[in-house]
Structure 1
Amino acid sequence: MADTSSNRAAAGETPETPPSGLQRVMRFIPLIAPLLLWSVPCWVLLYAGQQWPLPIALSGTALFALGLVGMPLAMMRGHGRRQQDRAAIVGDTLLGGAWVLFTWSVLLGVLLRLALTVAGVGDGQDRARMVTWAVLGLTALLLGWGYFEARRVPRVRRLEVELPRLGAGLDGTRVVLITDTHYGPLDRARWSARVCETVNALEADLVCHTGDIADGTAERRRAQAAPLGTVQATRARVYVTGNHEYYSEAQGWVDLMDKLGWKPLRNRHLLLEHGGDTLVVAGVDDVTAESSGLAGHGAHLAGALQGVDPGLPVLLLAHQPKFIDRAAAHGIDLQLSGHTHGGQIWPFHYLVRLDQPSVAGLSHHGDRTLLYTSRGTGFWGPPFRVFAPSEITLLVLRSPQQSTSS
């Protein structure tokens, strides 16, 4: 048999790189994570010193086993080829519930039990059962509150951002940012309409959507996205793709947003002019676009800034915060991003920080570049937000020239 790697090298192709140890481990995460999410709470709540009657222990174990098997199956049917919305709702809800239960089983299983032991409260079995009821009660409370937080219309977060190169004529420019609406299996058409009403009340000059409109194709989620066509802005409504568009026929979303009156800034820019001053508003495709295989899609900042006067201030839309390295290298003044959801369910934000330079809020990068990361307007997957509230963001751009003259 011929050596295929030698043949590829002879043909001028790059030989395949063997997977690293980390990549090999990551392959097992889909198997390990569900096992941990369900087995750890099962042990903490049922077997860590509680000595429950046998029927209770067996019934509880059966419920955890059902969750362990049912959650992955529901998610595969919901998010796999079949795309069954009801299965997705079940799987996503179980995932969110399991994450919260796992988190507080670990924390209370250690901290509360230690506190009770130090305080001399009860014997070992009493303390173990107190931990069980505390974990179950807190989990129920957080899931109820988290569901309300996920489904409500986001509060408006207001902040002023000074851009040193912004001319006085553009001082006070009102920019509204929405992102990560994630229209999906749970029908949120009414929620979408109310979000758009809230945006319109802010009387924005520029409204931006930085991607992840939905989970599903434009044809499938059209009714939920339709209210975006009612959004009003005095100057422009602009949009860039997120990574989830590339799971769901991204070009269909670009076309739909264009029909709804939004300008897709696909490696392009437009100019906002007022009082003799100019602001460049640029946008790039998501960084995952290049690997999507979709012709003409890819994040190209140089293309987005082609023909731009280098002395002008630039506002950049890029879905993922980690694009900030490229933005800072080009001297961008302000990048607006989403993607992180602020972690969505605490303490997931610690894992998000392994992949992104910012989880939420305003941060400084390089000599002059600012990054604002939104916690997102909707939610992905599990219909819960725990200690990571959604937001609609109003940024008022300020010019140092205006503040000096006043």
Structure 2
Amino acid sequence: MSLSQRPASWVMIFLPFALGYYLSYLLRTVNAVISPELTQDLSLSAADLGLLTSAYFLTFGMAQIPLGIALDRYGPKRVLGSLLLLAAVGSAAFAMGDSLGQLTLARGLIGLGVSACLMAGLKGFAMWYPAERQSSMTGYIMAAGALGALTASTPMEAMLPFLGWRGVFWLIAGLATALSVFVFFALPGDVQQTSRESLGTTLKSVAKIFIAPDFLRFAGSATFFTGGFMAMQSLWAVPWLMNVNGLPLNQAASYLMILNLGMLTGQLSVGLFGTRLSQRGVTPLNVMQIGYGLMLIVQGLILTGWGPILVFWFLLGVLSAANAQTYIATAANFPKSAFGRVSTAINLMAFAGAFIVQWGLGIALDLLQQNGASVPGSLRMAFAGLIVLQILSFVPLMMKTGKKIKPE
């Protein structure tokens, strides 16, 4: 019986990775709910808040290329377990921070600490599960992330009066420490399955990925669809709901929970039906084309404010499941041996996009308001700008390409 077929394999393999990605997404989106308290306590501007929150995405994105190399050379157990300790330190530092600079540095350390949670899981699944289970395992770990996002909405808002945002981060620091210990204890040994390729050869292969047309085709959508969704979900959704739709914080947090429920629904659907769709000839690229096309329509409806807003936020969450297909669709054009480096390269584009959009929206809001625009009006103009960028990045996905690179 293989390791993945043993009854306890979900505890030994899936659960550590799922809990890691749960924590990663919780930390990614928690600032959306605590942003009013942060703004009040520290007198932050919109640009300050955008920079503070996006520091997570900056360090997370910067870590992706070295992370891909480290996962291949040292395995997911040692990489994930060690980095989670950094997440614990960053969370404790955030809980103690008293200035924008301190909190930004702590937020950046958190981003670095959880940067391996998804990629380590994908690497581990490739090592310890058969190929036919990859699609389902990916969908299920994405669902764990959606649960983390759900926790960061209404449940987090309910905890704030009792713990405050500092108490919340002390709690998260303790959870990250416990999870690191669990990773080292539960995951199987991975030393025998690590790469022996020289560092120089590895770095050259990474450089070739970034200039490959088959990578560049997906880079824009990863930046503005995946990154844009993360920027809205992790920060700007709540200010939008409060200022554009006029909702109080508790109701805005409920809407955020509906968005995240939609995301959970979409990811579970991928886990349950992904294999069947593939057998019927539906490719990951097809899922992206349909999902992103519908996402543009839903976002346009949210922008105009016409129709049942709650339904549109739920649908936006469902359609965001198309984002995960970017990793598979891009890697399909490269040798299988390069999967880790290709997926982390795409992840870099996604998190660079989240950083750019999150901070960029904050800067745009400040500039628009300084020139006489209202808060709701400036939010609408900034969101419309994001949609334009998404449309431009959608075009390459609809174009046919030449021959794929054959697997080695």
Q: Which has a greater percent of strand? A: 1
Shorter chain as denominator, the TM-score bin is under 0.3
In terms of Rg, which structure is larger? 1
TM-score (norm 1): 0.22
- Which structure has greater helix proportion? 2
Q: TM-score, normalised to structure 2's length?
A: 0.22
